[in-house]
Amino acid sequence: MSQARLIKLLFVCVFVISGSSFVIKTQSVAAQGDCPTKKDHYKIGFANLTESVDFTKDVEASIKAAAAKAGNIDLVIANNNLDGATALNNAENFVAQGVDGVVEFQTDANFGNVIMNLFRSQSVNIPVIAIDIPMPGATFFGADNYKAGLMAGEAAGDYANKNWNGKVDYILALELPQSGPIPVARMEGQVDGVQNKLKTKVADDHILHLDSKNTQDVAFKVVGDALSKIPADANIIGVNINDDTGQGTVAALEAAKHTTHAIVVGQNAVASGQLEMVKPNSLYLGSTAYFPEKYGDKIIPAMLDLLGCKAVPPSIYVDHVFVTKDNVCEYYPNGDACKTLKGGAVATAAATTAK
């Protein structure tokens, strides 16, 4: 073989081998590019609604536990403090810290677009899961709001039929208008649930829509103000955005000594709400459970799926039940409310034996 032909052959071989290497390398990069968010280890931001109520404390604890169980997550925790501007500031801090994904629990619907635009404007979009209050483009996780509300409202309506011959004069609706239309469905479900059970509906002008600001203290004040204009013998049902406002409603009714003709239902069924419902002669009939202590068990796997570019449904709902003193031990056998009930039963049995 001539030297010229040998050189030419070697050149062709090198070109083919180099070309193959180029193709293989290009395919590998393309495969990684198919899922730009996929990594072996992640930094995930969690912006909690507030640190001042039982529900959000349970949510945060569950997310921490689920992240630790996953074993490949560093959590960055922030407190939105029930404020949209604070939530935006936290979102900016998340971006600055280079988070890969975000779990947002923020209450102000007016800031949803702004926050989501921030996350979507990065060189690689940051996946977001929004808890309970939807955000445009985020995966929703939380309540089936209308259904959850309906459960509580129907229970209150059944109570009215049994104890007041179906006569309800006023419905006090402790709402949270700043959170937008989805939580509104929770309140509509409660009012509809009551009305569906009554032969004689409560007049529209006797359904009082009160802004609770999501807190017990504000609920106490606005209910107290409303009660000053309601006859002392009026039958009242209080429906609430959560257990904290439910307890504020109960406290206001008790302070006004309007306890004979009133009943209150709520949402979330957190520990403090459970304790309220098992008190002797409690006005707190019950609360729809959301099981915040289990949120992390669904949220963290869903976030890992999003980061791995796997299919995730646009909305993930929790399973609801209406919790009362009669079934609280079934769902929370180790809770303080159940222990209180069992302790009371033991004390009653001991007193009977002593006689």
pLDDT tens digits along 160-174: 999 999 999 999 999
The pLDDT of residue 182 is 80
Alpha carbon distance 204, 215 (integer Å): 25
Asked if residue 244 lies in contact with residue 267, where contact means CB atoms within 8 angstroms, the answer is no
Query: How many residues make up the chain in this entry?
Result: 355
User: Which strands form 315-317's sheet, in the order they lie side by side?
Assistant: 73-79, 42-48, 101-104, 128-131, 139-142, 315-317
Domains 42-142+294-317 and 145-289 share a fold: yes
Average pLDDT value over all residues in the chain: 89
The pLDDT of residue 285 is 98
The residue among 10 and 305 whose pLDDT is bigger is 305
Render 66-118 in DSSP notation, one character per residue: HHHHHSSEEEEEEE-TT-HHHHHHHHHHHHHTT-SEEEE----GGGHHHHHHH
The token duo for 125 is: 């979009």
Render 311-345 in DSSP notation, one character per residue: ---SEEEPPPEEE-TTTHHHH-TTSHHHHHHHHHH
Asked if residue 144 lies in contact with residue 184, where contact means CB atoms within 8 angstroms, the answer is no
Alpha carbon distance 78, 146 (integer Å): 29
Helices (H), 198-269: 216-227, 243-255
The pLDDT of residue 198 is 98
Specify the range with the lowest mean pLDDT, choosing from 255-264, 320-329, 340-349.
Answer: 340-349
**Model pTM score:** 0.78
Domains of the chain, residue spans: 42-142+294-317, 145-289
Does the domain spanning 145-289 belong to CATH 3.40.80.10? Answer: no
pLDDT tens digits along 50-109: 998 889 999 999 999 999 999 999 999 999 999 999 999 999 999 999 999 999 999 888
Say what percent of the chain tops pLDDT 90.
82
Does the domain spanning 42-142+294-317 belong to CATH 3.40.50.1110? Answer: no
